Amino acid sequence: MTHEEFNKRCSALLGRWGWRARFAEATGINYTTVKRWATGQYPVPEYAATIVELLEGVPSFLRPKRWTK
């Protein structure tokens, strides 16, 4: 997954503003690491892409409120 795709899919899933912090909180991954993936400084690892795919499979009405703004 490219960092552009990671940004697009995560912002669609978690809301345009603040999605990096929500993704970090929801997954337990350090915010700085998520930010580096999002900016392309580090490549997005397979496990992070898998997490995004799994979170997308959760219907919106079952998602915790903290995932959305």
Q: Give per-residue pLDDT as tens, 29-64.
A: 999 999 999 999 999 999 999 989 988 887 878 777
What's the rounded Cα separation, in Å, for the pair 15 and 12?
Answer: 6
48 C-beta neighbours (distance < 10 Å), count: 20
Q: What is the pLDDT of residue 65?
A: 74
Mean pLDDT of 15-24: 87
Q: What is the pLDDT of residue 68?
A: 63
Q: What is the pLDDT of residue 62?
A: 79
Residue entry with tokens 């400084």 = 41
